[in-house]
Amino acid sequence: MNTSQAPSAFGASSTAAEVIDGVDLHGRHAVVTGASSGIGVETVRALATAGADVTLAVRNTDAGATVADRLRAELPPESGKLSLARLELSDLSSVKAFAASWDGPLHILVNNAGVMAPPQIARTAEGRELQFGVNHLGHFALTTGLHPALAAANGARIVVVSSIGHLFSPVVFDDLDYRYRPYDPWTSYGQSKTAGIHFAVAAAERWARDGITANARQHRRHRPGPPHRHAGRGLDDGQRRTRPPPGQDRPAGRRHLHPAGRLTHGRRRHRPILRRLRPGQARHPTRRRHPRRRPVRPGSGERGTPLDRIRSPHPLRIVRSSGLFGVGPAQITDTRTA
């Protein structure tokens, strides 16, 4: 069934105050994860200004208490109440305790907390890769645990904060936790954000009969550069900075984050080599590259490089990914040569 959707009056430059202007949320209860910094703070401010009672679900309760006290001093008198609760998304026991302690209906759930691109692989208390475990699995367990409270609200809304970083990677079901492939911080981040989008779509479809609406929201960065501190466990100050302060040279050999999200090693990326030719300018002669011989199975009679002669840079290589299609687990082979 096709339904027409009216065009929205808001766009990428709209602020939270503009969107929520005229909305009355008195008597509603909301939970915002990662509410101790960044857009989590502004989300709490907007919801409380409209009258909602907001629970700040944070990992660091000291930082959360500081933010809550500051917001109480800044919000108008008719704003909703602010409360604080500890939530460690990398530990499922903490997530289950938070969901079990919730009492009453829940009208708004904003899954905002996240980890972005720690340079070294880290794991949750259950052994899952940290970004996938926090950004997706932790919020998945939290949302499903709060489903009875969301259904009791009769019109609840779930917001999954996503990112354009979901374009970095799909969900690689054959190796979700980087146990057989080299760890890459950005594909790991993209995988977690893609999983969050899939979850929002599935929740909107399956929980519609409970009156629950779920959406994945891609936040807009207000300035170029890497994400703010609320999104980066394991990133030191040098890695968060895209360029040195004015008047200082970039230290040689130091790793920096490119504004597009790629790691560079003390130098900028090369500029594109495609340029517009001036009138009368000749093209550079192109070099003919020899085609690479495709791998074939030994004894097949086809021309190419036999598979048993290919050396893999990694001891373990996935040679058949049947698990991705639900047939069975992926077949892992040892490609180390004597």
- Return the CATH number at 209: 3.40.50.720
Confidence of residue 9 (pLDDT cuts 50, 70, 90): confident
**Beta strands of 227-279 (E only): which ranges?**
255-257, 263-265
| Burial readout 57-86 (b: 16 or more C-beta within 10 A, e: otherwise) | bbbeeeebeebbeebeeeeeeebbebebbe
The domain total for the chain is 1
Q: What is the pLDDT of residues 69-114, one digit of tens each?
A: 999 999 999 999 999 999 999 999 999 999 999 999 999 999 999 9
Q: Which tops the pLDDT comparison, 45 or 222?
A: 45
157-162 and 108-111 strand pairing: parallel
Single pTM value for the model: 0.67
- So what's the pLDDT on residue 243? 44
Is the pLDDT assigned to residue 125 strictly greater than 50?
A: yes
- So what's the pLDDT on residue 7? 74
Mean pLDDT of 321-332: 38
- So what's the pLDDT on residue 241? 39
**Whole-angstrom distance, CA of residue 48 vs CA of residue 26:** 9
- Please indicate, yes or no, if residue 256 is contained in any of the structural domains: no
Secondary structure (3-state) at 68:
helix
Confidence of residue 12 (pLDDT cuts 50, 70, 90): confident
What residue numbers bound the domain in which 218 lies? 21-231
Is the pLDDT assigned to residue 213 strictly greater than 90?
A: yes
- Please indicate, yes or no, if residue 326 is contained in any of the structural domains: no
Q: Which two tokens mark 236? A: 């030191």
- Catalytic residue ranges: 189
Mean pLDDT of 53-82: 97
- Please indicate, yes or no, if residue 261 is contained in any of the structural domains: no
Q: What percent of the chain has pLDDT over 70?
A: 63
- Please indicate, yes or no, if residue 251 is contained in any of the structural domains: no
- Please indicate, yes or no, if residue 65 is contained in any of the structural domains: yes
CA distances from 84 to 31, 141, 238, 319 (A): 10, 20, 31, 49
Query: What's the chain's average pLDDT?
Result: 77
Long-range contacts of 75-80 (CB under 8 A, 24+ apart): 75/45, 75/48, 75/49, 76/49, 78/51, 79/48, 79/49, 79/51, 80/25, 80/26, 80/28, 80/47, 80/48, 80/50, 80/51, 80/52, 80/53, 80/54
- Please indicate, yes or no, if residue 164 is contained in any of the structural domains: yes
Long-range contacts of 12-19 (CB under 8 A, 24+ apart): 12/220, 16/42, 16/43, 16/45, 16/46, 17/46, 17/49, 19/46
Q: Give me Rg for the CA atoms of the chain.
A: 25
- Please indicate, yes or no, if residue 308 is contained in any of the structural domains: no
Q: What is the pLDDT of residues 255-314, one digit of tens each?
A: 444 444 444 444 444 444 444 555 655 555 444 455 555 555 555 555 554 544 444 444
Pick the range with the lowest mean pLDDT from 149-153, 222-226, 284-288: 222-226
Pick the range with the lowest mean pLDDT from 144-158, 170-184, 228-242, 268-282: 228-242
CA distances from 98 to 34, 95, 207, 310 (A): 14, 5, 21, 51
- So what's the pLDDT on residue 18? 87
Q: What is the pLDDT of residues 13-39, one digit of tens each?
A: 888 888 888 999 999 999 999 999 999
- DSSP element (H, E) containing 57: strand 53-58
- Please indicate, yes or no, if residue 330 is contained in any of the structural domains: no
**Whole-angstrom distance, CA of residue 152 vs CA of residue 317:** 48
- So what's the pLDDT on residue 269? 43
Are residues 309 and 303 in contact, defined by beta-carbon separation less than 8 angstroms? no
- So what's the pLDDT on residue 222? 39
| Count of residues making up the chain | 338
Is the pLDDT assigned to residue 115 strictly greater than 70?
A: yes
| Burial readout 120-150 (b: 16 or more C-beta within 10 A, e: otherwise) | ebbebeeebbbbbbbbbbbbbbbbebbbebb
Pick the range with the lowest mean pLDDT from 1-10, 95-104, 136-145, 243-252: 243-252
